[in-house]
């Protein structure tokens, strides 16, 4: 999908805005799971999530090729919107973000603090996405999808960092929302010529990609019922699905209760705060700990942007 020059250029673009995030093998996690587990800390980026890398690469190409662009618009549950707002502010490009009603209060505030104009519309991400497309046509704005070549290239830089630092990982667990993170891990693994198995992780209440993988074709769901908003997807992106279908070993589904346990485990064992999607890979590893015993594995802590009220009412209440 990408050349060696593409990967090198993306890493240089990201490096101008932020240093590499750390990866640590936490002893308490290893003791708990019986597995040597490396955590990639994408909760340590300027927006608290991995998506910022994609926004930086996307905006870099856009302002070089079409500097006259009037502005960007996109739909999000939060981290994608923060990514575009952050990168847009660096380049002086106005950004409008459409979120579903009832979206994360703190993610909404963060997007606005980064300079985004925020619009609430619809009951879920898909409704917000359709409204963003309508507003793009109406206002002459650049519609930024949640899955795009440049977004994947940008987020692949975190996987390149991890797999360069720890090249002998047997398995790498990564959450799937619209698919850019998982596809970025596949692209980095293939670029480096490694044999690491990539395992996608979805919520049992939002299993569209898992159902699609089982069916061999894109399968949408009527709802995305999970408190882990970064995985609340019901309509798979066809391009993402094709890359995931060819590149993952399997997709593991995790329940919200398992994700809450993983969030608490991150806090007690590493004193890092994870949002739902950020903890889902650890939840999947906890499911498969017996099969992974004695192996060196990686998990992507893709973000730490969880609302305090949600943390209290979901994570702590179920502990």
Residue-wise pLDDT tens digits, 177-218:
999 999 999 999 999 999 999 999 999 999 999 999 999 999
Q: What is the pLDDT of residue 77?
A: 85
Q: What is the pLDDT of residue 298?
A: 98
Q: Please state the length of the chain.
A: 319
Q: What is the pLDDT of residue 308?
A: 94
With tokens 């991890």, the residue in question is: 162
User: Hey, what CATH topology would domain 51-143 get?
Assistant: Rossmann fold (3.40.50)
Q: What angle do CA 290, 228, 244 make, to 5 degrees?
A: 65
Shortest CA distance to 26 belongs to which of 36, 17, 16?
36
Q: What angle do CA 303, 289, 36 make, to 5 degrees?
A: 70
Q: What is the pLDDT of residue 62?
A: 96
> Which residues of the chain are under the pLDDT cut of 70?
none
Q: What is the pLDDT of residue 303?
A: 97
Instruction: Give helix 180-192 / helix 149-165 axis angle, nearest 10°.
Output: 50
Q: What is the pLDDT of residue 1?
A: 77
Question: 278, 158 in Cβ contact below 8 A?
Answer: no
pTM here?
A: 0.95
Phi-psi region of 165 (alpha: psi -120 to 50; beta: other; left: phi over 0): alpha
E strands, the chain, in order: 23-25, 36-41, 72-75, 95-99, 117-120, 142-143, 171-175, 197-203, 250-254, 296-301
Q: What is the pLDDT of residue 124?
A: 87
Region 4-49+149-316: CATH code: 3.40.50.1100
Q: Outline which parts of the chain fall under CATH 3.40.50.1100.
A: 4-49+149-316, 51-143
């Amino acid at each position: 999908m990408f050349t060696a020059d593409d990967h090198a250029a993306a890493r240089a673009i990201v490096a101008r805005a932020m240093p590499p995030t750390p990866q640590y093998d936490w002893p308490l996690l290893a003791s708990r799971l019986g597995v040597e587990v490396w955590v990639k800390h994408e909760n340590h980026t300027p927006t608290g999530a991995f998506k910022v890398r994609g926004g930086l690469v996307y905006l870099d190409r856009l302002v070089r090729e079409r500097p006259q662009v009037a502005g960007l618009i996109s739909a999000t549950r939060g981290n994608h919107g923060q990514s575009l707002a952050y990168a847009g502010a660096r380049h002086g490009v106005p950004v409008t973000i459409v979120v579903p009603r009832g979206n994360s209060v703190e993610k909404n505030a963060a997007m606005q603090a980064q300079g985004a104009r925020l619009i609430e519309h619809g009951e879920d991400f898909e409704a917000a996405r359709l409204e963003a497309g309508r507003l793009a046509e109406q206002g002459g704005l650049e519609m930024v999808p949640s899955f795009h070549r440049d977004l994947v290239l940008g987020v692949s830089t975190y996987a390149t960092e991890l797999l360069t630092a720890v090249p002998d990982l047997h398995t790498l667990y990564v959450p799937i929302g619209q698919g850019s993170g998982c596809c970025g891990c596949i692209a980095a693994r293939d670029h480096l010529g490694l044999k690491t198995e990539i395992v996608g992780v979805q919520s049992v209440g939002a299993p569209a990609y898992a159902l699609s993988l089982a069916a061999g074709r894109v399968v949408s769901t009527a709802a995305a019922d999970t408190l882990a908003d970064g995985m609340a997807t019901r309509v798979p992106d066809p391009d993402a699905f094709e890359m995931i279908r060819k590149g993952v070993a399997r997709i593991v589904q995790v329940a919200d209760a398992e994700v809450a346990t993983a969030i608490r485990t991150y806090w007690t064992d590493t004193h890092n705060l994870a949002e739902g999607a950020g903890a889902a890979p650890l939840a999947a590893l906890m499911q498969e700990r017996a099969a992974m015993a004695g192996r060196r594995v990686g998990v992507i802590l893709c973000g730490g942007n969880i609302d305090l009220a949600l943390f209290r009412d979901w994570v702590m209440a179920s502990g």
